[in-house]
Every structure is written in structure tokens, then in C-alpha cells.
């Protein structure tokens, strides 16, 4: 099974693919959809639609796991990200791919063991699970944390649907290939 994890955003959307077979899984690839912050909102949504459609057409994931929106203070940002997320749901529906949503706290709890883990803790946990290959591929500073978050969402989905649970010993790479 190929799971596409998505960390939705308007400026930067992270995505990551994890292949899951039996009780084994491995991170296959990850990346970003980035839009120009100076562009009008409609054009940004078109770019997200085009890139997400291309990703789905090329990779043909079996399911999509996406992080639920959670914003406590900035309603404007929440609305923009919600619009981008709507585009992603539309792309998935057009490709006939089921989408599963997970709350940020659930993802953090399942991956890092702490529902309030910060981005650094999440990346450290992912590196323990997948090895040091889970890093930014770019030489310049990027929003790799968005791609890492996307991998975490996909992994959370695997944990939710399988017998693999948080009791595994991630320090030894149990159930990972």
C-alpha cells in the first residue's frame, strides 16, 4: 500500500510517500509544493491544484492521510489553508482516492510519544524510525519541516490501520525496512 501524507499549507504544502507491506514500511520520497507569496490567492490555489493533480497521477497512492487544520488565533491564515486543503480534497476525489484526517496532537503522540512535540522533536523521531536519510534534499534553507510533517501524517495512518503500535522499539528499527 502506498500512503501519501500531506501537511497542508498555502505557501508551502509538504508531502511524503510511505510504502507499507505486511508489518514493514519505508519512506519512499517527499517534497514540497510551494507557491509565490506575492501571487493572488486564486493563482496560488491553481498551482496547488496542478501540482497535487500531477503528484497523484504520477504516484497513484492507495490512500491519502492529511493533517487536520488547527488554528487558535489567526482566522485569516486558517481560511487560506482551508481553501488549499479543499483543493487537495478535490484532487483526491477526482482521482478516487480515500482521504483520512488526523489531528496534529494525535500525529505527534503517535510518532514522538508526546502530543505537544515541536518540529525538531518530530524530525528526530522520524530519523530514529527511518534513519538519517530523512533529511532535506536541498542545499539552501527549505521548509523541510513541512515534508517531515507529511511523512509523520502518513506514518500515523499506518499505525492507526495496522497492528504496529507505539510500543515498538523505534531505536532498533523494529518493523522498518
Domain membership of residue 87 (yes or no) is: yes
From the candidates 7, 34, 51, 149, give the one annotated as an active-site residue: 7
Determine whether the annotation assigns residue 101 to a binding site: no
Domain membership of residue 177 (yes or no) is: no
Q: What is the pLDDT of residues 48-72, one digit of tens each?
A: 999 999 999 999 999 999 999 876 6
The radius of gyration computed from the CA coordinates of the chain, to the nearest angstrom, equals 16
Q: Is the pLDDT of residue 141 over 70?
A: no
Domain membership of residue 47 (yes or no) is: yes
Which ranges of 23-118 does DSSP label H, i.e. alpha helix? 41-59, 75-94, 104-112
Determine whether the annotation assigns residue 118 to a binding site: no
pTM: 0.86
Residue ranges making up the domain that contains 35? 2-172
Annotated active-site residue 19? The verdict is: no
CA distance 54 to 31: 13
Q: Which three cell numbers stand for residue 111?
A: 510518532
Annotated active-site residue 149? The verdict is: no
Domain membership of residue 73 (yes or no) is: yes
Which ranges of the chain does DSSP label H, i.e. alpha helix? 41-59, 75-94, 104-112, 119-130, 144-161
Q: What is the pLDDT of residues 114-131, one digit of tens each?
A: 889 998 899 899 989 888
From the candidates 19, 51, 67, 149, give the one annotated as an active-site residue: 67
CA distance 103 to 86: 16
Number of domains in the chain: 1
Q: Which CATH number does the domain housing residue 145 bear? A: 3.30.420.10
Amino acid at each position: 500500500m502506498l500512503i501519501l501524507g500531506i501537511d497542508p499549507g498555502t505557501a508551502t504544502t509538504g508531502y511524503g510517500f510511505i510504502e507499507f507491506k505486511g508489518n514493514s514500511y519505508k519512506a519512499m520520497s517527499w517534497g514540497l509544493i510551494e507557491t509565490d507569496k506575492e501571487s493572488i490567492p486564486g493563482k496560488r490555489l491553481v498551482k496547488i491544484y496542478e501540482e497535487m493533480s500531477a503528484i497523484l497521477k504520477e504516484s497513484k497512492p492507495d490512500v491519502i492521510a492529511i493533517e487536520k487544520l488547527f488554528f487558535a488565533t489567526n482566522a485569516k491564515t486558517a481560511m487560506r489553508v482551508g481553501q488549499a486543503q479543499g483543493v487537495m480534497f478535490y484532487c483526491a476525489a477526482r482521482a478516487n482516492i480515500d482521504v483520512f484526517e488526523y489531528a496534529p496532537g494525535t500525529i505527534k503522540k503517535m510518532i514522538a510519544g508526546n502530543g505537544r512535540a515541536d518540529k525538531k522533536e518530530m524530525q528526530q523521531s522520524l530519523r530514529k524510525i527511518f534513519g538519517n536519510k530523512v533529511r532535506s534534499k536541498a542545499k539552501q534553507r527549505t521548509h523541510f519541516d513541512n515534508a517531515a510533517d507529511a511523512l509523520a501524517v502518513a506514518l500515523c495512518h499506518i499505525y492507526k490501520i495496522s497492528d504496529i503500535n507505539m510500543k515498538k522499539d523505534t531505536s532498533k528499527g523494529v518493523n522498518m525496512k
